[in-house]
Structure 1
Amino acid sequence: MDRSKITRAILEHKNNPGLKFRLKHRTEAFTDRLFLTLFDQETPVAENMNVLEREFEELVELACWDPDLQCKKLWDQYLDLLPDILRRLNMDAQAIVNCDPASLSIEEVYMAYPGFYAIAIYRLAHELFSFGFPLVPRLMTEYAHRQTGVDIHPGAKIGDSFFIDHATGVVIGETAEIHNNVKVYQGVTLGALYVAKSLQRTKRHPTIEDNVTIYANATILGGSTVIGANSVIGGNAWLTESVPPYSKVFHSPEIVIKTRANVE
């Protein structure tokens, strides 16, 4: 075994200088600290702001490959947005308390509901994504995805008082638009009808209007698909076309009861 030959061969194929996995680990540490700074009563806010700024500067060094973007200047803009992000997240938590009869307290929602955690990291990542600094927010939402089973692209647009119940298996695509007071259950997909690179800059995912409830394992696809306000989408429904406001859409399974006469 010629180890030097193997090493040279690996180095020849290890040709992506921007691929530094410590960026992923640093992003996860930044995400944890940011979440605790906003919610944990025992985590100091003022002191953590300074630490978060230093951590963000390191993320910029690793991930800001566009010299014209001047990513270091983004921190002050992002900091200005944090109070309003927290206000909106408090509305999300209250929506869960109001909608879920199993919730015992708002503290339980903050600490034990994976749907809330996924929404929180999405909202914290979305504003960075909107600045044109995509890799760090993508790593933030993927970190939440790994912990919760909820995959929300940071480019999606989500309104106030959003509720994800049970969470596992929810997928919300990059160009999805969700308005206010929407409830989504486990296994829901807001996806694209087609997967092609040429569609990158087009709206590929559906729009969900105000006060819509989407039950478990429903699949809604397509950038031109609009679910009208106050509609209810039943479990296991498959939709690729728009429905008007106040619609009810249900999947009706066929039930066949076998008797001794027709059992094979």
Structure 2
Amino acid sequence: MSLAEAPRAYATEVPLEKIVGELRALRAAAQARRYRSAPPDLPSRAETVAAVEGLVAALFPRHFGPSGLSGRGVDSFVALKLAESFASLRRQIELELRLAGEREGRDRTLSRHAEQIAAEFAQRLPHVRALLDEDIRAAYAGDPSAKSIDEIIFCFPGFAAVTRHRLAHQLYRLGAPMLARIVAEKAHSETGIDIHPGAEIAGGFFIDHGTGVVIGETSIIGRNVRLYQAVTLGAKRFETDSEGHLLKDYPRHPILEDDVVIYAGATVLGRVTIGKGASIGGNVWLTHSVPEGAVVTQAKAIEDIFVDGAGI
């Protein structure tokens, strides 16, 4: 829409032309700081989200496809969704590569690189589906309120968040971190569960309830781990270089070994290791490693406050 087409009610009360000009100048200054030449085209958040939702439907066509799918119709629907989603993702991957600083004049190389990433991503989909099947079984086994597998797929926010995470994680590993973050933040906004796409999560992962869960970029989570709402796996501190700039790409989040359970409200910070089969109680604040099979609660602290039944 041109300025001339702007609603007259606004045009008569607000100096649109002046505001538009000031915003243009601010954009130009910001772009000059970020780019060496003309601003490149940006990836589309909407198209990226739509492509991933198409992949979710392809992974679970009877749940998220059209009603009544059966027989060969399922395979036809899956093939269609895969083709649409991969074509869209390839375009978005190429735009991200260009934005990340690929030199101009290498369009053919960029296109080939994007195709390679998209093809490798496609090859990993059966592995993603296999992991999700483990997650579903863990949710069913770990939650007495779950009445069926279908209920988990349709309704559980933890499963919805983990599904998007497993797709986003593959994009992250293959070199499309911005697209991965778009997918992760869309899931975050819809479920209240914040999983950085860099986090490594093995199969059988279950987030019960989920609201307020935060899992940092360099977290490593083993098999059959269960988290409850408001659990944080975060960094204890941010390291800086000699000039005070934040360092990136170094391990700063917890490692959870197999069969760990962390209850509601617990906070685990730093590159600590929670040993296999350990249990971390609700609202515990933990900044050190614990051994295999450990049980960490606040009970000792409570005993220290109350002596012989009298509160101090």
Specify if TM > 0.5: yes
Structure 1 residue 2, shift from structure 2 partner: 5.3
Indicate the structure (1 or 2) with the bigger Cα radius of gyration. Answer: 2
Q: Is the 8 A contact 2:215 2:232 kept in 1?
A: yes
| Equivalent residue for 2:139, pick from 78, 85, 96 | 96
Q: Which position in structure 2 is the counterpart of 1:37?
A: 58
Deviation of the 1:114 alpha carbon: 0.3
Amino acid paired to 2:117 = L
Report the CA distance between 1:58 and its aligned residue. 2.8
Q: Distance in 1 between matches of 2:284 and 2:208?
A: 17
Q: Using the TM superposition, name which of 95-104 and 64-73 deviates more.
A: 64-73
Contact kept, 8 Å, 2:55 with 2:85, in 1: the verdict is: yes
Tell me which residue corresponds to 2:206.
163
Runs of 4+ residues deviating >6 angstroms: none
Aligned-partner residue type, residue 161 of structure 2: A
- Conservation of the 8 A alpha-carbon contact between 1:150 and 1:168: yes
Between the two proteins, what is the percent identity of the paired residues?
A: 38
Corresponding residue for 2:256?
Answer: 208
d(CA) in 1 for partners of 2:267, 2:170:
27
Q: How far apart, CA to CA, are the structure 2 residues paired with 1:26 and 1:62?
A: 12
Deviation sequence 1:152-211 (CA, Å, 0-9, x none): 000011111001000100000000000111000000000000135533121010100111
Q: Which of 282, 286, 298 does residue 239 from structure 1 map onto?
A: 286
1:71 to 114, 126, 144: 114
- 1: CA distance between counterparts of 2:181 and 2:40? 16
1:144 maps to what in 2? 187
Matches within 5 A, 1:1-264: 3-14=16-27, 15-16=30-31, 17=39, 20=42, 23-41=44-62, 42=65, 44-65=77-98, 66=100, 67=102, 70-196=113-239, 198-223=246-271, 225-252=272-299, 254=302
CA contact (8 A) 1:128 1:137 kept: yes
Report which stretch shifted further, 120-129 or 6-15. 6-15
Larger helix share, 1 or 2:
2
Kept after mapping to 1: 8 A contact 2:228/2:264: yes
RMSD: 2.1
Aligned partner letter, 1:125: A
Gaps of 5+ in 1: none
